[in-house]
Amino acid sequence: MFYYAKPTSVRLDDPPIDFSRLWQRIDFRGYITHADNQQWYMGSMERNAHGFPDFAAAVIAQMRRRGLLSQTYIQDALRYCRSMVEAEGYEQTVPPHLSDSSTSTSHVILVFGCQGPEVRDARARACFQLVKNLRHVPLKIVFSGKNPSTTDSRKVILTRDEAAALQAEFQRLLERDPTFDGRNFTFALEQQANSTAGNLKHFLQGPYLERNRPAQLFLLSSTFHLGRIAQETDAALASYPDLGSGIARLVLVGAEDDAEEAIVSDERYVKAMMYEVFRHMFQHAPPAFRRDEYDGAV
Q: What is the pTM of this model?
A: 0.86
CA 229/CA 231 separation, integer angstroms:
5
Domains of the chain: 19-86+263-286 (no CATH), 91-254 (3.40.50)
pLDDT computed for residue 136 by the predictor = 84
pLDDT computed for residue 295 by the predictor = 43
The strand order across the sheet containing 215-221 reads 91-92, 2-7, 247-254, 215-221, 106-111, 139-144, 185-190
pLDDT computed for residue 137 by the predictor = 87
DSSP sequence for 226-249? HHHHHHHHHHHHHH-HHHHHHEEE
Query: For the stretch 269-285, what's the b/e string if a residue is b when 16 or more beta carbons lie within 10 angstroms of its beta carbon?
Result: bbbbbbbbbbbbbbebb
φ and ψ at 14, to 5 degrees?
Answer: -135, 135
For the chain, report the end-to-end CA distance as a whole number of angstroms: 46
Q: Mean pLDDT, 10 residues at a time, over the chain (298 residues)?
A: 81 65 71 80 75 89 88 87 90 83 82 87 93 89 77 51 92 88 85 82 88 89 93 87 77 84 82 91 68 42
Cβ-based neighbours of 65, under 8 Å, separated by 6 or more: 267, 270
Cβ-based neighbours of 116, under 8 Å, separated by 6 or more: 158, 159, 266, 268, 269
pLDDT computed for residue 15 by the predictor = 57
Tell me how far CA of residue 207 lies from CA of 108, 125, 149, 163, 225, in angstroms.
11, 25, 26, 17, 24
CA 3/CA 130 separation, integer angstroms:
10
Provide the residue type at 94 as one letter.
V
Provide the residue type at 77 as one letter.
A
Largest distance between two CA atoms of the chain: 70
Cβ-based neighbours of 24, under 8 Å, separated by 6 or more: none
Could you tell me how many helices (H) and strands (E) the chain has, helices first? 11, 7
CA 188/CA 117 separation, integer angstroms:
21
With 0-12 / 13-18 / 19 or more C-beta atoms within 10 angstroms meaning exposed / middle / buried, residue 167 is buried
pLDDT computed for residue 67 by the predictor = 87
